[in-house]
Structure 1
Amino acid sequence: MRPSTPPGPAGHPGSAGRPAPAPAARTASPWSLALLGTGVFLLVLAPLLVWYVTPRAAVTPVDVDVTTVFAGTGSYFDTGSLTTRERQRITVTRHVLGDVAAAERSGRAVWDVSTTVDTPQTLPLNDPRRAFQWTTGRWVTDRRSNAPVHCCGESPGRFDGDAYLKFPFDVAKRTYRWWDDTLGAAVPLRFAGTTRLSGITGYRFTGTVPATRTGTRQVPGRLVGRPEQGQIQAEEWYANTGISLVVEERTGRIVDASISPLKTLRAPGARRDAVVLLRARNLAFTPATRRAQVTLARAESGKLTLVGRTLPVVAAAGGGALALAGGVLVARGGRRGGRFSPV
């Protein structure tokens, strides 16, 4: 008799000597790999938005075309009648136009600024050359720090300070040096509290300018108490009894402002004013200007907040959740079933 075939490992006859089946391969599904990859990408994107994208988004615009208007009541010297007119409406209009071509060449913010002071007689003329006072300037600043830059034909060349047409980004609760064009120097403005304006947070900064001699002007001697002299080089003096600026904290944009300028004439060496050229108390942004500035500040701040805060938080949170879920699925894997093949 032929011996019977011994049973195989699983109790099946005839399986002796056959190789054991290989363990099933562990594989990850495309869905789990996609989750993991997306999560890692978002985790890398979050710090990039904060440290790389945001600093490059927080730059002073170069293609500006903005008009701001101050209005209030004051007095001015009428050269026609040689008298001071009291309780008159004073309007200060400032137009800022960016020189895009110069900005692209230099990498700076280059703004041409025209400022007119108008009385009820000159305002309807709508001509800066016939305004009560007209000044122009060319302001060049670093687009990130807002610091003055001496290039590109800037005027005045002595421009200095931390702020003028705007403050630096991410305004701090500290003293800033604000450039006063009439004074020709920077004025310290101190932090004076936080205020809410049309739904946005603003920092208020205040300061004053003591009476300071700013130049001379040739006038008839009798205007300054020197009737014996036909013409005289009278001294021009300037003061500002109240500067108040409200600045949007994220962008540094001035959303509200009021000033109280005083310009006078004195006889050479005199200690008292002889003629009031211009006096105004609380020349402030008009409601239309305030609304326009708030709208611009809200839009600019929203973009910076989106890039610097909202998107990084969402990317970090979403990336962490997706990476965790994808990692769990990849670790768990899937078993691919195999089958035995004959030798």
Structure 2
Amino acid sequence: MRVLARVLLGFGVFLVVAGVIALTWAPGVVKKTPLDVDTLTVYTGEAAKIDPATGDFDRRPVYALTDTKADSEASSSDHVLFVTTQCAVFDTGGEKVCVDGEDPDLITANIDVFATDRTTALSVDDKNLPADAVPHEGLVNKFPFDVQKKAYPFWDGTLGRAVDIEYQDTETVDGLETYRFSYTVADEPIEVAEGVDGTYDNVITVNVDPRTGSIVKSGQDQQRYLADGTQALDITVVTDDDTIKTAVDEAKANGSSLTLLLTIVPVVGLVGGALCLIAGGLLLARRRERPGARVAERSQDRVPA
């Protein structure tokens, strides 16, 4: 009985400590953007781009790729640096890859380097960013953990500034409950091409896992116009089904891990630990109430000569 009491007390202390750690220390550790991000997002849709030589503006199938990688060596415990390669290409039926700048099927392409806070997901000015990196503001490639139903500043690379993206409603995507956010810009002055002024319209929509802040689906409906009103670009794309499934599966797995670490472990630790401590204490108290117990145990253990 004495051994059992000590085991219960020791195990109870262990569980309580684990529960306290899960409540106080774990959230600040697990609710951070990881440093091993390496994702490829594939979009499909249709687009039309003006041909300067002929004036043709035919709408054709298109795909877009966003390849995002974290630079773990340049990142830190507080910030994570990302390198994102993006392109939009007319789909001629071949492999979906970013083509070079001489390819007539290329619509747009760019490389973006930025840093975000690992907790808030907001853009930051990090000392390890290259000197020519474009300053960012707002959210870029994910939302913070525990997303709220409110507006967030969201980076628009074409405008070069953040735009408020508003919560719209709750929507189920592949069995995952998500928050849908969107923003609209219209008649915004931009450079339609290098040295060519014009205007820009766009409707951006993203579906976000509210637990982890990961974007599982997104799309845009973008138009660009020359200064005289001639439409130069019309592109509508949305995340393809395979990318959505992968993102949803990852969000579900990460959400389950958070539930285990931040909910189940604290409950089991604190409640189970308390029960073990109470049971161990009762066994010791019961033993003290039996003054002859130790003598009896020693008598039973005595071996005859």
TM-score bracket, normalised by the shorter chain, equals 0.7 to 0.9
Q: CA deviation at 1:216?
A: 6.1
Does the 8 Å contact 2:63/2:96 carry over to 1?
Answer: no
- Equivalents in 1 of 2:154, 2:220: separation in Å? 13
Higher mean displacement: 182-191 or 152-161: 152-161
Asked if 1:239 is matched to 2:201, the reply is yes
**Which residue of the other structure, out of 135, 143, 165, is the alignment partner of 1:158?**
135
Does the 8 Å contact 1:235/1:266 carry over to 2?
Answer: yes
- Equivalents in 2 of 1:47, 1:317: separation in Å? 11
> 2:152 — aligned with what?
176
Q: CA deviation at 1:127?
A: 4.0
**Which residue of the other structure, out of 307, 310, 324, is the alignment partner of 2:264?**
310
Q: CA deviation at 1:246?
A: 0.8
Q: Within 5 A, what are the aligned runs for 1:60-99? A: 60-79=33-52, 81-86=54-59, 88-99=60-71
Q: CA deviation at 1:102?
A: 0.9
Q: CA deviation at 1:41?
A: 2.4
Count of residues in correspondence between the two structures: 287
| Greater C-alpha radius of gyration | 1
One-letter amino acid of the counterpart of residue 276, structure 2: L
Q: What's the TM-score once normalised by structure 2's chain length?
A: 0.87
Q: CA deviation at 1:166?
A: 0.5
Q: CA deviation at 1:107?
A: 4.8
Q: CA deviation at 1:285?
A: 0.6
Q: Within 5 A, what are the aligned runs for 1:183-198? A: 183-198=159-174
Q: CA deviation at 1:37?
A: 2.1
Asked if 1:300 is matched to 2:254, the reply is yes
Asked if 1:259 is matched to 2:227, the reply is no
User: What RMSD over aligned residues (CA atoms) do the two structures have, in Å?
Assistant: 2.2
- Equivalents in 2 of 1:217, 1:296: separation in Å? 37
Does the 8 Å contact 1:78/1:85 carry over to 2?
Answer: no
- Write out per-residue CA displacement over residues 91-132 of structure 1, whole angstroms, 9 at most, x where no aligned residue: 11100112121115x752111000001113597583432322
- Equivalents in 2 of 1:246, 1:82: separation in Å? 36
Write out the 4+ residue segments of structure 1 that deviate beyond 4 Å after TM superposition: 121-125
Q: CA deviation at 1:54?
A: 2.1
Q: Which runs of 5+ in 2 are unaligned?
A: 299-305
Asked if 1:31 is matched to 2:4, the reply is yes
Closer, same or farther: CA 127–157 of 1 in aligned 2, 3 Å: closer
Q: Identical aligned pairs, as a percentage?
A: 27
Q: CA deviation at 1:292?
A: 1.1
